[in-house]
Amino acid sequence: MVRPILISLGLVVSAFAFAACGSSSGESAIGQGAGPSLSMPEYIEQGDAICAEENEKIRPRQETIQRLLGGADTQDELHVAAEEFRELAREVQAGLSRFRALDPPAAQRQSTEEMLTIKGAEAVLAESLADAVDSGNQAKFDSLTQQLALDQEKYRALMQELGFKRCGRSRPDAGASASGVAT
């Protein structure tokens, strides 16, 4: 059972790129910065900059997970991969506050909150996927990856609707197995 989980996990690891962000931790309102609301072009520019910076920060962890999963044949190796995956989730969560601090235009607050909710749910999925890997629960893992795919579709559509250029786009270097994964 080790190998099927590894293959599936390898296909979804890049889905947790800091494609913008969200929070499942019950953080209060968006726009926690001290300044006035941003214009939409300012919001997109600053959000895209955050996405680019955070993706660079987490890319090495993603590569480590891919490398571990590519050669893991024992439960101990899977456990190490799961711990790396948990750390990836923590890194994404740490970056969420940066995006949340941006104050979007009033007309975009509802869409922004929806986007943040989707990304927050994905961070929770990362933890649950790690648990599924640790326990060898293929059915749970498959169910979670299906939910991740649905969330990614919603997220990409919303980010495109809002006009982001870097957030919510497929990574150009993601390769065929992870095509369409938002970053």
State the CATH number of the domain containing residue 87: 1.20.120
Contact between residue 18 and residue 115 where contact means Cβ atoms under 8 Å apart: no
Residue whose pair of structure tokens reads 């991740």 in the numeric block: 148
How many structural domains are present in the chain?
A: 1
Please give the Cα distance from 58 to 169 (Å, whole number): 16
Determine, yes or no, domain membership for 177: no
Residue 170 β-bridge partners: 182
Residue 29 lies in a domain: no
Average pLDDT, the chain: 76
In a domain, 180, yes or no: no
Q: Is the pLDDT of residue 28 over 50?
A: no
Look at residue 33 and tell me if it is in a domain: no
> 16 in a domain, yes or no?
no
Token reading at 178: 């992870």
Q: Write the CB contacts of 77 (distance below 8 Å, at least 6 apart in sequence).
A: 2, 68, 71
Domain range for 66 is 2-11+39-172
pLDDT band at 95 (very low <50, low <70, confident <90, very high): confident
pTM score? 0.74
**Is residue 137 one of the residues assigned to a domain?**
yes
